[in-house]
Homo-oligomer: A and B are copies of this chain.
């Protein structure tokens, strides 16, 4: 279903940056402080209100998400799929994306997203990498550890 629950909050003001930094964990705080652009990626728990416009051939779509807990779960799942697209899109545009789950999501929701119905999923630093910005590529699992046929 065409739910599109991902929302992007770009942290552009000094005040917003200062408020976000309070909620960042450990070494992520310094990385976020130094990033030229930071995006808070979030799931919109009121995504269903758009369905009459975005899924018009099925008039009952909105009512399928009447249950708050089920709707939040759907918002988080589908927005997280979109986060995958977002990260690849940033990189396809020639920029670097530094995604971080190490932050106080409840704190971000209460502070930067108060009253919006948004739930933060990931904080992403965006910019051009400096010199020697990379770790060596970390080991990947083998194909037969990931893919199985039945």
- A interface residue numbers (CB < 8 A to B): 2, 4, 6-13, 16, 50, 53-56, 74, 77, 80-85, 87-88, 101, 112, 121, 138-141, 145-150
For residue A149, which residues in chain B have a CB less than 8 angstroms away from its CB?
A: 9-10, 12-13
Number of copies: 2
Interface of A is mostly: mixed
For residue A121, which residues in chain B have a CB less than 8 angstroms away from its CB?
A: 77
- Distance to closest chain B CB from A88 (angstroms): 6
In the complex with contacts A81-B84, A84-B85, A16-B146 CB distance below 8 A: no
Closest B residue by C-beta to A102:
B1
User: B8, B88, B138: which contacts A54 (Cβ < 8 A)?
Assistant: B138
- Report 17 cross-chain contacts, Cβ distance below 8 Å, ordered by A residue: A4-B140, A4-B141, A4-B146, A6-B146, A7-B148, A8-B148, A9-B148, A10-B147, A53-B139, A80-B80, A81-B83, A81-B84, A81-B87, A83-B84, A84-B87, A84-B88, A85-B88
List 6 extra interface pairs beyond A2-B138, A12-B149, A85-B88, CB under 8 A: A10-B148, A54-B139, A54-B140, A80-B81, A81-B83, A83-B84
